[in-house]
Amino acid sequence: MNTPLIATRAGQEREAACAPPLHARLKRPAPAAMTEVLGIPLTLVDLDTAAARIRAWARDGQGRYVGVRDVASTEAMSRDPALLQVARGAAMNLADGMPLVWLARARGLPATRAAGPDLMEKMLSEGGDGLRHFLYGGAPGVAERLAARFAPRTRIVGVCSPAFRPLTTEEDAAITAQIRDSGADVVWVGISSPRQDVWMAEHVDRLPATLIGVGAAFDFLSGARPRAPRWMQRAGLEWSFRLATDFRRLWPRYLIGAPRFLARLALAAAAGRG
């Protein structure tokens, strides 16, 4: 009389034994929409999904890096074959710039902005996930101020502000060892693009962590530089605020690079390429 019930339970036990562990099933990153812009693949995810993916990668012993793409870095990296390969080697390229979001939407894809400063602030503010973070970048003192702001809520296991020059072999080896020995799961890299992207690509095989290039996020979140008001960010006008507050450094990026991006995008569209 009980044979069917026993057989059902045995089958359930076999299925449970063959199924992957619960933590593995929960941590598997969900599929995301993708698009290419001038040869650079963009992963179209919101901040919550991006953060979930990074948490899922934590402590698997595999090095990887994440690019945060705006118009300037997309244009610059797509124009140089070596830099293009760096961008294409990223585990994710997030759409930081609103023009990239608008372009994806024009192609009929779901897209929201996943800005580097917002991703960094989200992950460092929420804490509670046990992730260990290392801050690599910023002018002297910036990373320390950033760590002091978020340390009560998350685990900051180290900071380093590298010199604004090429590091010697010995300096680079010492910094790499410092990051590796810290046990960091996530390394936030703020040394501007494409320099930070090249650094990540060169170190990804030596650091068992997720490296995320966030550029000016160090300055914004530490208070070293002001960030555009939220309404300007939502309207895609953050570039104008940055240009007005840092004209001498940024004018080539926005007054030369951005028009060149639009011209190349139009030529690519006319030729049938993304």
CB atoms within 10 A of CB 60: 12
206/249 same-domain check: no
3-state secondary structure 153-180: CCEEEEEECCCCCCCCHHHHHHHHHHHH
Backbone CA torsion sign across 129, 19, 65, 47: negative
Is 12 among the domain residues? no
pLDDT value at residue 23: 38
136/186 same-domain check: yes
Query: What angle separates helix 98-106 from helix 71-79, to the nearest 10 degrees?
Result: 80
Tell me the pTM. 0.86
188/62 same-domain check: yes
Is 80 among the domain residues? yes
240/215 same-domain check: no
112/240 same-domain check: no
171/263 same-domain check: no
Distance CA 56, CA 14 (A): 27
139/263 same-domain check: no
Q: Which residues pair with 186 in a beta bridge?
A: 133, 210
Is 202 among the domain residues? yes
pLDDT value at residue 26: 40
CB atoms within 10 A of CB 162: 18
User: E-assigned strands of the chain?
Assistant: 33-37, 40-44, 64-69, 92-95, 132-137, 155-160, 186-190, 210-213
Strand 33-37 relative to strand 40-44: parallel, antiparallel, unpaired? Answer: antiparallel
254/150 same-domain check: no
65/156 same-domain check: yes
Is 14 among the domain residues? no
Of the CA atoms within 13 Å of residue 161, those in its CB half-sphere come to 12
188/255 same-domain check: no
pLDDT value at residue 19: 43
Is 176 among the domain residues? yes
Beta carbons of 245 and 225 less than 8 angstroms apart: yes
Is 209 among the domain residues? yes
In order along its 274 residues, the chain shows pLDDT tens digits of 443 333 333 444 444 444 444 334 445 555 789 999 999 999 999 999 999 999 999 878 899 999 999 999 999 999 999 999 999 999 999 999 999 999 999 999 999 999 999 999 999 999 778 999 999 999 999 999 999 999 888 999 999 999 888 899 999 999 999 999 999 999 999 998 899 999 999 999 999 999 999 999 999 999 999 999 999 999 999 999 999 999 999 999 999 999 999 999 999 888 876 6
Backbone CA torsion sign across 246, 252, 256, 259: negative
Q: Give the residue numbers spanning the domain of 189.
A: 42-222
Is 31 among the domain residues? no
For 76, residues 6+ apart whose C-beta sits below 8 A from its C-beta are 83, 193, 194, 257
Is 271 among the domain residues? yes
In 3D space, the residue among 222, 242, 264 whose CA is nearest the CA of residue 124 turns out to be: 222
Compute, in degrees rounded to 10, the torsion defined by CA atoms 78, 53, 180, 65: -10
151/267 same-domain check: no
Number of domains in the chain: 2
Give the tokens for residue 208.
Answer: 């068992």
55/135 same-domain check: yes
